[in-house]
Each structure stands twice: as C-alpha cells, then as structure tokens.
Amino acid sequence: MIHLSPIMFAGTGSDVGKSVIAAAFCRIFKQDGYTPAPFKAQNMALNSYATPEGLEIGRAQAVQAEAAGVPCHTDMNPLLLKPTTDTICQVVLNGKSIGNQHAFDYFTSNNKANLRKEVCAAFDRLDARFNPIVLEGAGSISEINLREVDLVNMPMAAHAGASVILVADIDRGGVFASVYGSIMLLTEDERKLVKGILINKFRGDIRLFESGIKMIEDLCNIPVVGVVPYFHDIYIEEEDSVMLHSKNRFSKEGKVNVAVVLLQHMSNFTDFNPLEQDERIHLFYTNQPKELANADIIIVPGTKSTLTDLQILRSDGMVRAIIQAKNNGKTILGICGGYQMLGTVLSDPNGIESDIQQLPGLNLLPLRTTLEGEKITKQVEFTFYKGKTDCIGYEIHNGRTEVLASNIKPLNILKNGSEDGCIKGNCLGTYIHGILDNAEFVDYLIQPYLINKSDGTSFDYFKFKEEQYDKLAAHVRKHVNMDLVYSMIMP
C-alpha cells in the first residue's frame, strides 16, 4: 500500500464543519483500503472520551477514530483544554490532567515550547503507525495575534508536511471574504501548504455557484476541491453543545418524553444521541422547571462544574421541580455529575472544580460525594440491574462517592466485579457515560412509559453509527474531486 502524505482540514473559522469533514475522510480512506487515523494537536471541549488505556481525549477525535475503524488513542489528541469557567481551563496532556490554568497564562506562558514538543512527538508516533494521518485544525487558520503560540494549525501542518484543505462555511455568508482573507493573512511559507479549498454547507442549486468557484480559484490561485451540500439526514455526533437549548423543546404525545436538564457547564452531551434517534422517544433539553412536568423521564447529565451547576439549579427552581417529578412517579436518572447531585451532600474541599466547598444535594439517593484524588478515566464493561447482556461505556470523573445505606442496590456490576451507581425506586444514578448507547438499558428505562407495551423494537445505536459514517462518506465523495485530493497526498 502506498504511504500517503498527511492531510489537514483547517478552517476559515470555528464551526465550519472541520470535524465532520475530517471524519468523512477517515471513513473514505478506510473504504479505499488505507489505515487512516485522526489527529488534532489541541482541542478545547467539554465533550471528552476515555481511551482503552484509561486516558482522556476529545470526543471529536474518538468519533473520527470510530469512522476510521481504529481504537482511539491519546496520540490522536495529545492536548485537551476543558473549560471550567469562561477564563480557566483544565489542561489534559497525553490523556492526564496536569491542573487548571488561566487562559491568559496558558497562551502567554513560556511552556509553549514544551507543549509543541509533546504534540509533535504524538503526531510522529501516530504517523509511524497509520496511513494517512487526517489532521484537523482549530478555529481559524489566520488568527495572526496567536501565530507565535499556535500549536494546532499551520505550524502543525508544517511539522507534519501536510497538504492543507481550507474549509469554509458558505451557509453563514461571506464565503469569498473569509476564504480570500484567510489565505492572504498567512505568511508566504504557510500559503504554500494550502493545496485546496472546500466549500461546506451549501444550500440550493449547486450550478448557481459554478462562477463563484472560478472566482475563488482566480483570487486565491488554489483549486476548489469540492462544494459539499448541507445535509439533514446524516447524523454525526456534534462537538459543540451550543444548539442543545433549541432542540425538540416540548413534549409529544405518543412518545416517551425524556427531558435532559440543560446545565450551564454540561459535558458529554453525546450521551443522549441514542435517545434522539430512537423513534419511540422524544428527547428535549430544558432549564425551565415547568417543562419538566411534561417529561416521563428526567436525566441530570454530567458537568465540568458540579457544585456551581447544582447551585444554579437550586436558584432557578429546577431542584424543586426534579424532586416534585420524582414524587409524582417520574423516573430520575443521574449520570456522572448528575449522579453526584442526586445524593445527600457534595464536597470540594480542595477547590478542584470551583470555590464552593460544600452543598446539599437533591437527597434522592443516599450518597456522599467528595471531589478529590486523581481523575478516574476508563472504559468499562458491565451488566446493569436486571440486565442479562454485556454493556459497554466509560467513566471520566474526579468524585469518590460513598453509598450511605446498606440496603441500596447497585445499578451496575462491572466486569471486574466492582459496583457502580445505585437504584432506589424510580431514581437511578451511574458514573458510566455511554450507558444509553446500550439498547437493553434503554429498553429497561422506557418500558414503563411505552403506550404499546408490546413495542419491543430496540434501537441498535452501534449499527446506526456505522451506517451514518458510510452515508457521510458517500455524500462527501459525491461532491469532492477525490482524484484531485489523492494527487495532493500521493508521494
């Protein structure tokens, strides 16, 4: 097999679709017989994932690895920044937290040389194992004020010897200015690395943009490799949670209505993607107490700032509404930070997440949680309460939780024999992210609320995701000149 040069998908800005395009090419190269792997030197996200080795990376690179058909690894995302406030991030290097840092200090410190060495070493290790490496940039490639401290865009492309494809979002408008401006703000050496332009999220008749393609090529002297239409029928996990508040806001008759409590510092929101695709379920996100009354099941999700979000829920009246829903017979499920909130008390004596040292929980489960010690990150296999088949998921949390009552049953039994979570009546809690990916658990959760109790049609989320990666690859293949792309990365 020919060893292809690396390819990078960089952007004219944030949210132009780089992550999804990179995932598409990971699947395309896999389909074409290569052994691709994703790489993003530095990612900023609350959505993370545990590798098979029990280390932490950005969820987007785990999705791209899944599209490539390979296990995820920290070398695919050696540097992860997890915001705890608007100005402070937890820094995760090679899968392990190295502490919190103020954004100003992070971007102006003298530590950049060491971090650059780390991310380049991670790329080199990955490049020795896979073919080709599909790199993703971050934000805009032309943030000239950050050029000297940039670890993820053009300096990374130069180290990798990657052919850069500039991705632009035509749906937001201003595509000519964003493409031309991005190219012109690069240095001469950086411009030489940009081999193609990809116009993303096009709506309408693509023939009407043919003259626009020529104008961009004439302006930039760089070929347009494709114009990829906006799609509505392909579902790939999103990296950003900013649109969750507008999704499926109200309940629906004839469905099992599941409300996810919309937390200010919500993390791992992809836990709920399987429910969003299950035809038996109507999923909505809310931070309005009155809307919880319309839910059959209420899920309190994970968060990067558990005590802060708990304080907000109490002040907004959400705690009272959740407790009332539980008393009315509705099912309450807490996952990770949400599980901790359902307990009696939460403590953060060392200020790991915030300045709040202790708060009472919702007192729906007999638990005491203390945020301390090294972060737990691991993939797990388990069977759940009343379950018979093996399930899979992962844990990412700081808290150590003690169950205060001896008569409370664990929700899950891990493969190594240890226990996770607990169940008390209609209230359940677990540390396991991805528990809702498992059809048997979802069937158990929604069974009491099915209008037709004989409706046992389980939703296979793992099969669904594979189908979506193939659909995405076919969509991008159709609208991108793959011969031109391959010519850019052939030796």
Give tens-digit pLDDT for 326-371: 999 999 999 999 999 999 999 999 888 888 999 999 999 999 999 9
Cα(128)–Cα(240) distance, rounded to whole angstroms?
A: 31
Check: CB of residue 94 under 8 Å from CB of residue 118.
yes
pLDDT for 351 equals 86
pLDDT for 422 equals 96
Domain topology for 7-235+467-489: Rossmann fold (3.40.50)
Q: β-strand 412-414 against 133-136: which pairing, if any?
A: unpaired
Q: Is the pLDDT of residue 241 over 60?
A: no
pLDDT for 220 equals 97
336, 391, 422, 427: the active-site residue? 336
Split at pLDDT 50, 70, 90, the class of 456 is: low
Q: How far is CA 424 from CA 63, 156, 343, 411, 429, in A?
A: 34, 51, 11, 9, 9
pLDDT for 451 equals 75
pLDDT for 383 equals 96
Within this chain, domains 7-235+467-489 and 255-450 share the same CATH topology: yes
Q: Hey, where are the domains in the chain?
A: 7-235+467-489, 255-450
User: What pTM value is reported for the model?
Assistant: 0.89
Q: β-strand 96-102 against 88-93: which pairing, if any?
A: antiparallel
Split at pLDDT 50, 70, 90, the class of 105 is: confident
Cα(41)–Cα(50) distance, rounded to whole angstroms?
A: 17
Kindly state the tokens that stand for 51: 């590798």
pLDDT for 106 equals 75
What integer is the mean pLDDT of 142-161?
A: 93
Helix runs in 300-409, H state only: 306-315, 318-327, 337-341
What integer is the mean pLDDT of 402-426?
A: 94
Beta strands in 85-219 (DSSP E): 88-93, 96-102, 133-136, 163-169, 194-202
The amino acid occupying position 261 is: V
The amino acid occupying position 424 is: K
Q: Residue 207 CA to chain centroid, in angstroms? A: 34
Split at pLDDT 50, 70, 90, the class of 380 is: very high
Q: Phi and psi at residue 42, in whole multiples of 5°?
A: -140, 130
Give tens-digit pLDDT for 2-39: 999 999 999 999 999 999 999 999 999 999 999 999 99
Per the model's pLDDT, the better-predicted residue between 87 and 128 turns out to be: 128
Which strand (E) or helix (H) includes residue 100?
Answer: strand 96-102
What integer is the mean pLDDT of 450-470?
A: 85
In the annotation, is 232 catalytic? no
Q: Is the pLDDT of residue 244 over 80?
A: no
**What's the mean per-residue pLDDT of the chain?**
92
73, 282, 397, 433: the active-site residue? 433
Give the N- to C-terminal CA distance of the chain in Å, as an integer: 12
What integer is the mean pLDDT of 178-192?
A: 97
Q: Is the pLDDT of residue 454 over 90?
A: no
What integer is the mean pLDDT of 268-289?
A: 93
Split at pLDDT 50, 70, 90, the class of 112 is: confident
Cα(431)–Cα(267) distance, rounded to whole angstroms?
A: 13
Give tens-digit pLDDT for 35-47: 999 999 999 988 8
Buried b (16+ CB within 10 A) or exposed e, 395-409: bbbbbebebeeeeee
What integer is the mean pLDDT of 108-126?
A: 89
Cα(419)–Cα(432) distance, rounded to whole angstroms?
A: 11
Helix runs in 357-460, H state only: 439-446
pLDDT for 329 equals 96
What integer is the mean pLDDT of 313-330?
A: 97
pLDDT for 353 equals 84
Examine residue 132 and say whether the peptide bond preceding it is cis (omega within 30 degrees of 0): yes
Domain topology for 255-450: Rossmann fold (3.40.50)
- Rg of the chain over CA atoms, in angstroms? 23
Give tens-digit pLDDT for 293-316: 999 999 999 998 999 999 999 999
Split at pLDDT 50, 70, 90, the class of 135 is: very high
pLDDT for 147 equals 87
Percent of the chain with pLDDT over 70: 95
Residue of 94, 114, 103 whose CA lies nearest to 146:
103
Check: CB of residue 440 under 8 Å from CB of residue 456.
no
Q: How far is CA 303 from CA 269, 293, 338, in A?
A: 9, 23, 7
Check: CB of residue 275 under 8 Å from CB of residue 442.
yes
Q: Is the pLDDT of residue 245 over 80?
A: no
Of 81-95, 260-274, 366-380, 434-448, the one with minimum mean pLDDT is 81-95
At what angle are helices 461-479 and 59-68 packed, to 10 degrees?
A: 80
Q: What is the DSSP letter of 388?
A: -
Kindly state the tokens that stand for 321: 């509404």
In the annotation, is 72 catalytic? no
Kindly state the tokens that stand for 111: 């530590």
Question: Who's near 397: CB < 8 A, 6+ residues apart?
Answer: 302, 336, 337, 375, 376, 431
Q: Is the pLDDT of residue 436 over 90?
A: yes
